[in-house]
Each structure stands twice: as structure tokens, then as C-alpha cells.
A = this chain, B = another copy of it.
Amino acid sequence: MAHHLVDSDETALTALRAAGLRVTAPRRAVLVWLAKHPHSTVDAISAGVREVLGTVSTQAVYDVLRICTATGLLRQIEPAGHPARFECRVGDNHHHVVCRRCQRTEDVDCAVAAQPCLEPPDDRRFVVDEAEVVFWGLCQDCVPAGQLADVYPPQGEIRQ
């Protein structure tokens, strides 16, 4: 239950301690940044953290993200064909919508009843531990017709 939701530098510190991890500047900065900018890519996180700390190696950011994901402080989502994104884990089982055009990513509560998508496949040959759901589409900024051309080329014209 206590999923140590991070929302400040202090809670980041607490969350790290609770997870049995050392408290370091890069770790705190990454957690705080992600609390304020969910669904960030590694690039964005690195840039954001550097604004605060000055210099932080890319490797350090990857290390922080890996260890925090492994201990459950963060959740990693990897939309097909796009670089990984991270968010503070809330313990609930929400999904994501990703805009095909601008890659804006937002949370979606699990629709319908509670966790219909976690229903494990019928056959028992697989032991499922996670259901990853990504809704693809267009965000409101990208919907206007003029912007659709290169994403959804008129089907009849694909002829090479």
C-alpha cells in the first residue's frame, strides 16, 4: 500500500531510503524531475536533471532509472518504436495513450471494469505477470486534417 509517492525532494529522499537505496544527488533529482514531468524520455530527464545539478552523466541517469525501476520506485513504459519513458509509479494499474504524431503521452485509467486487461490468457502455458496496454491515436493538437497526411497517407496512393 505505502508506495511512497514522490512529489518533492524530501519525499524522494524518504522513498529512496525506504527502498534501501543510497541517497545521492542524481537519484533525488531524477525522482523529483519525474514527479513534475511524468512520461519523460531519458533525454528529457537528463536535460532536466542537469538544469538542477549542473553536470550529470548520461550513464548515471540510465543507472538511476534502472535501479529505481527495479525497486519499484519508477515504472518504465516503452511504446513500440519510441524511446523509453518513465513515470513515478503509483501502484495502480493504469495504461497510456500515445499520440502517433507528437508522441505526447498521458495516463488512462483502466477503462471498463477494474483491470479487464490483466485477465491472463486462457491457456496456462504462459504465466503472466504484467499487462502492458498502449492506446495509439492522435492528441487534440494533432487531429486537424492538415496534419494527418504524413501519418495516415491516403491508402490508395501507396504504390511503389
Count identical subunits in the complex: 2
Provide the bound-state CA to CA distance between A133 and B111, in Å. 13
Does A160 reach chain B (CB closer than 8 Å)?
A: yes
Interface size class of A (residues with CB under 8 A): 35 or more
Does A42 reach chain B (CB closer than 8 Å)?
A: no
Known: A78-B80, A121-B108. A135 touches B131 (CB 8 A): yes
CB-defined A-B contacts under 8 Å, sample of 19: A20-B159, A71-B158, A76-B80, A79-B80, A81-B84, A97-B121, A109-B121, A112-B119, A117-B117, A117-B133, A120-B135, A121-B135, A125-B139, A126-B135, A128-B135, A128-B137, A131-B133, A131-B136, A133-B134
A: which residues have CB within 8 A of B?
20-22, 67, 70-72, 76-81, 84, 97, 99, 106, 108-109, 111-112, 116-117, 119-122, 125-140, 143, 153, 155-156, 158-160
Given A20-B159, A77-B80, A97-B126, 14 new contacts (CB under 8 A): A20-B156, A21-B160, A71-B158, A76-B80, A80-B80, A111-B117, A116-B116, A125-B140, A126-B137, A130-B137, A131-B133, A131-B134, A132-B133, A133-B133
